[in-house]
C-alpha cells in the first residue's frame, strides 16, 4: 500500500471533528502509523464532562478490553523466548490448573477463548489475584474444551497472566514495562502509577437512547443466571463503572480490562507488530510469532456474544462477514477493541497500525462508527 502521509490528514481530521459535532464524542485521540513511523496523531475534546480539562497529547485513558491485545502479545513473547509451542498443555507449566477436567487444555485453546472457562462457579473478588487463580483451578470447563469458543471477558486476563507468571516468573504488567513499555517509552500501563493520575481522563458510561449492540447479547446479559451474565460478573467486583475512575483501582494490574494509556503509545506498539515485529532497528518478535497473531484459531458463533467472532492467539480477527469488518480490508489484520469504543489493530500486509481512544462510552462491545469511519478512510 502506498505511503499514507500525503493524503490522510484532511479526510481523517474532518471525520474526527464529526465525531464530536455529530456523534457526541467528549474527548478522544487517534494515532496512525505506517512502516514503523507515525503518520497522524490527533486529539481533541475534554477529559471531564464539565469540560474544564482539555484533552491534550499527553492525556491517557482507560481502554477496557483493548488491554487484552497487549497482554496477549506479552504472553506470546514469553512463549517465543522460552521456545514453547501453542500446542503444549497449560498444566505442563501450571500443574494446579489440571484439576476438574482441565488436564488436556492446550495453550492454543486457552488463548482462543475455547477452554470453556469464561465464568467461575466459586466466588472470587477480581482484586484478589490468588483467590481468582484458586477459583480457576477448581473450575470445571463449561463446555468441552476446543469444541466451541465464547469470549472470556473477565477470566482471560487471569488465565494468561498466571501462565506468564509460571513460565517467566513475572506478571504481565511487569513484563510489559520491562520488555516493551520502558525500552520503547510507551505511555501505556497495566496498573497505573499514582503520579500519572493527574493526566488520566475520566471515563463515562454510555448514554441512553441508542440501541445496544449486539442486541441479543445485551438482552441475555440483563437476565439473571445466563452464561452471559455469569461471564461478565465473575470474578466479582468492579461492576460499577465509576469505580474504574478511582486512583486505587487504576493502580491494580487488571489484564482483562484495566489498561490505561494514550492512542499514540498503543498505535506505536501495534506498529511494531504490523512491521514484522521490528521497530527503530530493533527486532522483538519473530516471523512465526507474528504468524500466531494473524492466523485464526477459532471462527464461528461466539457462545457469549451470540454473533460470529474469530480469534487468533489472544488477538481478535475479522470473520467472513463483510458487514462486520472492524480491522480494515486485509485478512492478515488483527487487534482488540475495548468496550464502549476504544479500538486498536495491526495490518501487517500494509504495515499499518491504528489506535482510537475516548472517554464517552457507547453501549457496544465492538467498535462503532466513530472509529470504523476513520478506518475506512485509511483504505479508501
Distance CA 293, CA 281 (A): 21
CB under 8 Å to 171, separation ≥6 — which residues? 161, 164, 165, 253
CATH of segment(s) 9-379: 3.40.710.10
Q: Interior CA angle at 38 toward 309 and 63, to 5°? A: 40
pLDDT tens, residue order, the chain (380 aa):
556 666 789 999 999 999 999 999 999 999 999 999 999 999 999 999 999 999 999 999 999 999 999 999 999 999 999 999 999 999 999 999 999 999 999 999 999 999 999 999 999 999 999 999 999 999 999 999 999 999 999 999 999 999 999 999 999 999 999 999 999 999 999 999 999 999 999 999 988 767 777 788 888 888 999 999 999 999 998 877 889 999 999 999 999 999 999 999 999 999 999 999 999 999 999 999 999 999 999 999 999 999 999 999 999 999 987 778 999 999 999 999 999 999 999 999 999 999 999 999 988 878 889 999 999 999 98
* Neighbour-count burial for 192-209, b at 16+ CB within 10 Å, e otherwise: beeebbebbbbbbebeee
Residue 27 contacts residue 201 (beta carbons within 8 Å): yes
User: Within a 10 A sphere around the Cβ of 241, how many other Cβ atoms?
Assistant: 15
Segments making up each domain of the chain, as ranges: 9-379
pLDDT score recorded for residue 4 = 63
| Residue showing cell 474504574 | 244
Amino acid at each position: 500500500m502506498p505511503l499514507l502521509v500525503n493524503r490522510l490528514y484532511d479526510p481523517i481530521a474532518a471525520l474526527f471533528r464529526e465525531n464530536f459535532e455529530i456523534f457526541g464524542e467528549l474527548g478522544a485521540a487517534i494515532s496512525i502509523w505506517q512502516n514503523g513511523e507515525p503518520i497522524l496523531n490527533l486529539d481533541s475534546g475534554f477529559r471531564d464532562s464539565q469540560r474544564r480539562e482539555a484533552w491534550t497529547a499527553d492525556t491517557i485513558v482507560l481502554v477496557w478490553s483493548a488491554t487484552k491485545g497487549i497482554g496477549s502479545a506479552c504472553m506470546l513473547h514469553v512463549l517465543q523466548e522460552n521456545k514453547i509451542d501453542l500446542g503444549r498443555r497449560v498444566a505442563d507449566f501450571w500443574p494446579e490448573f489440571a484439576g476438574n477436567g482441565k488436564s488436556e487444555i492446550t495453550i492454543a485453546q486457552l488463548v482462543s477463548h475455547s477452554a470453556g472457562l469464561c465464568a467461575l462457579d466459586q466466588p472470587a473478588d477480581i482484586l484478589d489475584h490468588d483467590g481468582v487463580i484458586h477459583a480457576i483451578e477448581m473450575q470445571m470447563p463449561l463446555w468441552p474444551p476446543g469444541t466451541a469458543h465464547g469470549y472470556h471477558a473477565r477470566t482471560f486476563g487471569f488465565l494468561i497472566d498466571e501462565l506468564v507468571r509460571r513460565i517467566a516468573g513475572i506478571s504481565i504488567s511487569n513484563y510489559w514495562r520491562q520488555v516493551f513499555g520502558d525500552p520503547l517509552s510507551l505511555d501505556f500501563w497495566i496498573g497505573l502509577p499514582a503520579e500519572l493520575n493527574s493526566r488520566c481522563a475520566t471515563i463515562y458510561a454510555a448514554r441512553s437512547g441508542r440501541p445496544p449492540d449486539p442486541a441479543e447479547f445485551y438482552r441475555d446479559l440483563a437476565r439473571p443466571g445466563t452464561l452471559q451474565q455469569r461471564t461478565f460478573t465473575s470474578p466479582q467486583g468492579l461492576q460499577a463503572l465509576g469505580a474504574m475512575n478511582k486512583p486505587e483501582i487504576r493502580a491494580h494490574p487488571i489484564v482483562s480490562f484495566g489498561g490505561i494509556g494514550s492512542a499514540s503509545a498503543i498505535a506505536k506498539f501495534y506498529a511494531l507488530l504490523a512491521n514484522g515485529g521490528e521497530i527503530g532497528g530493533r527486532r522483538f518478535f519473530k516471523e512465526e510469532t507474528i504468524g500466531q497473531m494473524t492466523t485464526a484459531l477459532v471462527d464461528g458463533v461466539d457462545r457469549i456474544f451470540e454473533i460470529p467472532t474469530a480469534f487468533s492467539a489472544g488477538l481478535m480477527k475479522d470473520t467472513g462477514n463483510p458487514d462486520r469488518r472492524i480491522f480494515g480490508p486485509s485478512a492478515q489484520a488483527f487487534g482488540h477493541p475495548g468496550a464502549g469504543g476504544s479500538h486498536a489493530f495491526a495490518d501487517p500486509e500494509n504495515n499499518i497500525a491504528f489506535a482510537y481512544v475516548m472517554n464517552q462510552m457507547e453501549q457496544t462491545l465492538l467498535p462503532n462508527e466513530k472509529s470504523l469511519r476513520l478506518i475506512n478512510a485509511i483504505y479508501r
